[in-house]
Structure 1
Amino acid sequence: MDRRFTLALIAPVALMTLSGCGINSIPTADENVKARWADVQNQYQRRADLIPNLVNTVKGYAQQESQVLTQVTEARAKASSIQVNADDLSDPAKLQQFGAAQAQLGQSLGRLLATVEAYPDLKSNQNFLTLQSQLEGTENRITIARQDYNAAVQAYNTRIRTFPDMIGAKVIYGAEPKVPFEATAPNAEQAPTVDFGNGQ
């Protein structure tokens, strides 16, 4: 009888101790990081999906810009080929490779958009204006998605490094710190400015 009574007292204490060791909070924080990373990938995919239409629209007006159009197309293909899944979020090299490819695509896209200044008819084309607006919105969403991902990474990394959650993080989950998304090109932390001189 005494043994059962002792176990009955110990069981709630053990459960409270375990619940304070990140049993539930570590997986929750990990899933939040993965969800925020999926948002980042989704926004980059949205940008990649807009590029063929933008290239085709520009091509119709500026055929002599074939080198710039080719650079954008190649940069898009390279950026689309580099995938970082949720299991790679603790690998700085993979995130750096992904970020560098996306930054290169952004720079190529910026060069393409800069050439539009020489084509007033293109600047007033309704299809182009729609694509311009969608691209501006997407660049802003990319910035927000990266910020949200980095906030989730910071919360996760703090949780797995602080007591008492660090006990469950190491002993039960073998948790490793996640890598934040970092700018890989000069001024890459800012969305490219899309300005066609039309006051929009």
Structure 2
Amino acid sequence: MVAIIIGVIVLIIVGAVAWAIGAYNGLVTLRNRVKNGWAQIDVQLKQRSDLIPNLVETVKGYAGHESEVLTQVTAARAGVVQSAANGDVAQRMAAENQLTRALFNLQATAEAYPQLQANQNFMDLQAQLKTLESKIAYARQFYNDVVLKYNTQTEVFPSNIIAGMFHFEQAQYFQVDDTAREAPQVHF
């Protein structure tokens, strides 16, 4: 009888340890997917950032007097580069949102110049930017989906016990700020 009780206790302990290992490994897997999702966004954002100087120079040739818009884009890109070097994800997201707004303003400004719209170099750059924006949108969606799964696992019982014991912290969603949802304002 005592052997059966000891066997049941050992079985319960082994089961609890196996569950804890599984929960920990699941959280690590999700945390790594979040990091991978951010890395995928980072690759697309880097490509967009590299494309911007060419786009600005092309627009500058046709709409040089629109210096405020060009300055906004250049300053926003510099902010992205600086925030990328700092490694702070929240700061990087804010800088990327600012750059997105500046690019919308640049595109809206460019639409007012028919000769620019006919320029093949500009059209190629605009097509590349559109493709990159689609990839960025997909990467953001993937990242946010993984963050949702990870954050849910860190909050639900009983895996929240393991998350608390091993200091798994909530991941931040890549959100668009309220000003990016507004239509760009272009003044001539």
Pairwise TM-score range, normalised by the shorter structure = 0.7 to 0.9
Partner of 1:118 in structure 2?
112
How far off is 1:180 after superposition? Answer: 1.3
CA distance in 1, matches of 2:164, 2:72: 46
The correspondence of residues 17-56 of structure 1 with structure 2, limited to 5 A, is 17-21=16-20, 22-56=23-57
How far off is 1:16 after superposition? Answer: 3.5
Q: Percent identity?
A: 41
Question: Residues 146 and 181 of structure 1 are in contact (CA less than 8 Å); yes or no, is this contact kept in structure 2?
Answer: yes
Question: Residues 20 and 165 of structure 1 are in contact (CA less than 8 Å); yes or no, is this contact kept in structure 2?
Answer: no
Counterpart of 2:100 in structure 1: which amino acid? Answer: G
Counterpart of 2:49 in structure 1: which amino acid? Answer: A
How far off is 1:32 after superposition? Answer: 0.6
1:135-154 alpha-carbon deviations (Å, 9 max, x no partner): 11111122111111111111
Question: Residues 160 and 169 of structure 1 are in contact (CA less than 8 Å); yes or no, is this contact kept in structure 2?
Answer: yes
CA distance in 1, matches of 2:151, 2:33: 12
How far off is 1:159 after superposition? Answer: 0.9
Question: Residues 20 and 164 of structure 1 are in contact (CA less than 8 Å); yes or no, is this contact kept in structure 2?
Answer: no
SS of the equivalent of 2:170 reads coil
CA distance in 1, matches of 2:148, 2:72: 35
How far off is 1:187 after superposition? Answer: 4.8
CA distance in 2, matches of 1:133, 1:20: 50
Counterpart of 1:127 in structure 2: which amino acid? Answer: N
Q: Report the structure, 1 or 2, having the larger helix content.
A: 2
The answer to whether structure 1 residue 177 and structure 2 residue 170 are counterparts is: yes
How far off is 1:13 after superposition? Answer: 5.0
How far off is 1:155 after superposition? Answer: 0.6
The answer to whether structure 1 residue 58 and structure 2 residue 59 are counterparts is: yes
Question: Which of 121, 124, 139 is residue 127 of structure 1 equivalent to?
Answer: 121
Structure 2 CA distance for partners of 1:131 and 1:37, relative to 1, 3 Å: same
**What is the count of residue pairs matched by the alignment?**
178
CA distance in 2, matches of 1:60, 1:43: 26
CA distance in 2, matches of 1:18, 1:158: 22
SS of the equivalent of 2:17 reads helix
Structure 2's unaligned 5+ residue stretches are: none
CA distance in 2, matches of 1:19, 1:42: 37
Structure 1's unaligned 5+ residue stretches are: 89-93, 194-200
The answer to whether structure 1 residue 150 and structure 2 residue 151 are counterparts is: no
How far off is 1:72 after superposition? Answer: 0.9
SS of the equivalent of 2:65 reads helix
CA distance in 1, matches of 2:159, 2:40: 26
Q: TM-score when scaled to structure 1?
A: 0.77
Q: TM-score when scaled to structure 2?
A: 0.81
How far off is 1:109 after superposition? Answer: 1.4
CA distance in 2, matches of 1:117, 1:53: 17
Coordinate RMSD, CA, aligned:
2.7
Counterpart of 1:62 in structure 2: which amino acid? Answer: A
The answer to whether structure 1 residue 77 and structure 2 residue 71 are counterparts is: no
CA distance in 2, matches of 1:37, 1:45: 12
1:120-171 alpha-carbon deviations (Å, 9 max, x no partner): 2211111111111111111112211111111111111111222332222222
How far off is 1:67 after superposition? Answer: 2.7
Question: Residues 43 and 141 of structure 1 are in contact (CA less than 8 Å); yes or no, is this contact kept in structure 2?
Answer: yes
